[in-house]
């Protein structure tokens, strides 16, 4: 009996566990428990005051605009619930983030896919629909290092999207979990800096760790108040202890900048290894973007048609996994596409994973 090789997973959307600041978090937890018994008590639905103040200061907002949530996924779900009527139209990038698609469907929204390219969602395609009379209540975007495509919404498109929101009266839901994971160059302006019709959701999952489940929404005050009411019915509040741990950690002088710099360095090298391996092993068979940050590479198989969903079982049998592009489809995603993640895999294993993928495609 032939043993299957251990699977090298290029599928997961998780950060690298070996980069979690576990020792620092343990120290902060011990300090909080020793000095602040209220960390084990019920807390305010909108979140721990000092953490809200920290988030507000970092994003140029006011504390009353910030609601702390169980990760950014809960923030997405709450924003959909308070801004979209059941049956109301919503625009999302196509392909798009699975969690946003799920949140929209759970809210009863009518989802419409907007095509995109390397510069992010095609705002011209969105404008064409708006001119034809389509009126979404909300348009969702991941402007920085999109999941799944890795695209960055260009400055021109950010400004155009903000102008359309003002003109047609829809809310822009700006999902920014990867903004800190920029490999090079200056950051582009946040959508919320370009329009008052923007709700931003963020998380500490990618720069601290996901297991603490601490995220946030930044919204106009009336929207933030609505989010608080819905969250109160859902779970009362985000964990008191974890909020204090995160606040103490990110408030440490010099910690966050140094930690993010390390994350960027590791992910930059892993992204480079994956892209180089794709070029060497599959240069004539796969077209892939070059990530400028984040955790993902979007790849499309060229040449003879390939259904990556149908090919997945064979790939796993050969010791490599990915996510088929069809998993991210809102309306129309090429069956020959796939999402590859480099975040959790060292460079040598990335190269071996691509070699295994090449063998599957060649077969």
Instruction: Show me where the domains of the chain are located.
Output: 8-19+257-362, 22-251
Lowest mean pLDDT among 3-12, 88-97, 130-139: 3-12
d(CA 210, CA 70): 10
The CATH code that applies to domain 22-251 is 3.40.640.10
**Does the pLDDT of residue 2 top 60, yes or no?**
no
Helical pair 240-251 and 255-282, crossing angle rounded to 10 deg: 90
Assign 4 a pLDDT band (cuts: 50, 70, 90). Answer: confident
Whether 150 contacts 296, CB under 8 Å = yes
Name the CATH code of domain 8-19+257-362 (choices 1.10.3720.10, 3.90.1150.10, 1.10.357.10, 3.20.20.70): 3.90.1150.10
For residue 232, CA distances in Å to 44, 47, 103, 109, 179 come to 9, 11, 18, 22, 28
- To the question of pTM greater than 0.85 for the whole model, the response is yes
Whether 343 contacts 14, CB under 8 Å = yes
Same fold for the pair 8-19+257-362 and 22-251: no
User: What value does the mean pLDDT take over residues 230-236?
Assistant: 96
Which residues lie below 8 Å from residue 205, measured CB to CB, with a gap of 6+?
15, 71, 72, 177, 212, 213, 214, 215
pLDDT digits over 179-206, tens only?
A: 999 999 899 999 999 999 999 999 999 9
| pLDDT given for residue 1 in this prediction | 46
Q: What are residue 288's DSSP bridge partners?
A: 299
User: What value does the mean pLDDT take over residues 249-274?
Assistant: 98
pLDDT digits over 153-171, tens only?
A: 999 999 999 999 999 999 9
Q: CA-based Rg of the chain, rounded to a whole angstrom?
A: 21
Which residues lie below 8 Å from residue 100, measured CB to CB, with a gap of 6+?
76, 92, 140, 173, 175
Query: Cβ atoms within 10 A of the Cβ of 328, count?
Result: 25
User: What value does the mean pLDDT take over residues 53-81?
Assistant: 98
pLDDT digits over 281-331, tens only?
A: 998 899 998 999 999 999 999 988 899 999 999 999 999 999 999 999 998
| pLDDT given for residue 3 in this prediction | 65
């Amino acid at each position: 009996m032939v043993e299957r090789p251990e699977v090298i997973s290029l599928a997961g959307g998780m950060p690298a566990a070996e980069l979690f600041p576990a020792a620092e978090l343990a120290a902060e937890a011990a300090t909080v428990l020793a000095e602040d018994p209220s960390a084990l008590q019920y807390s305010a639905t909108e979140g721990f005051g000092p953490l809200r103040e920290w988030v507000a200061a970092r994003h140029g907002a006011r504390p009353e605009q910030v609601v702390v949530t169980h990760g950014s996924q809960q923030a997405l779900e709450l924003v959909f619930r308070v801004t979209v009527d059941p049956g109301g139209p919503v625009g999302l990038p196509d392909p798009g983030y699975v969690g946003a698609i799920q949140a929209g469907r759970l809210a009863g929204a009518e989802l419409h896919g907007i095509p995109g390219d390397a510069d992010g969602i095609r705002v011209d395609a969105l404008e064409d629909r708006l001119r034809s009379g389509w009126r979404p209540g909300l348009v969702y975007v991941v402007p920085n290092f999109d999941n799944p495509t890795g695209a960055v919404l260009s400055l021109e498109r950010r400004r155009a999207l903000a102008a359309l929101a003002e003109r047609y009266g829809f809310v822009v839901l700006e999902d920014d979990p990867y903004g800190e994971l920029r490999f090079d160059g200056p950051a582009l302006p946040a959508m919320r800096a370009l329009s008052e019709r923007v709700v931003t959701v963020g998380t500490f999952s990618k720069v601290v760790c996901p297991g603490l489940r601490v995220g946030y929404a930044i919204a106009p005050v009336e929207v933030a108040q609505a989010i608080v009411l819905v969250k109160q019915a859902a779970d009362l509040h985000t964990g008191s202890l974890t909020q204090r741990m995160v606040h103490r950690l990110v408030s440490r002088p010099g910690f966050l900048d140094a930690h993010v710099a390390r994350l960027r360095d590791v992910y930059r090298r892993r992204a480079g290894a994956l892209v180089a391996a794709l070029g060497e092993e599959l240069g004539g068979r796969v077209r892939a973007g070059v990530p400028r940050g984040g955790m993902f590479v979007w790849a499309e198989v060229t040449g003879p048609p390939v259904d990556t969903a149908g090919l997945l079982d064979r790939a796993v049998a050969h010791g490599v996994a990915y996510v088929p592009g069809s998993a991210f489809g809102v309306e129309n995603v090429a069956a020959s596409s796939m999402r590859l993640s480099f975040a959790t895999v060292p460079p040598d294993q990335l190269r071996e994973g691509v070699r295994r993928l090449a063998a599957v495609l060649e077969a």
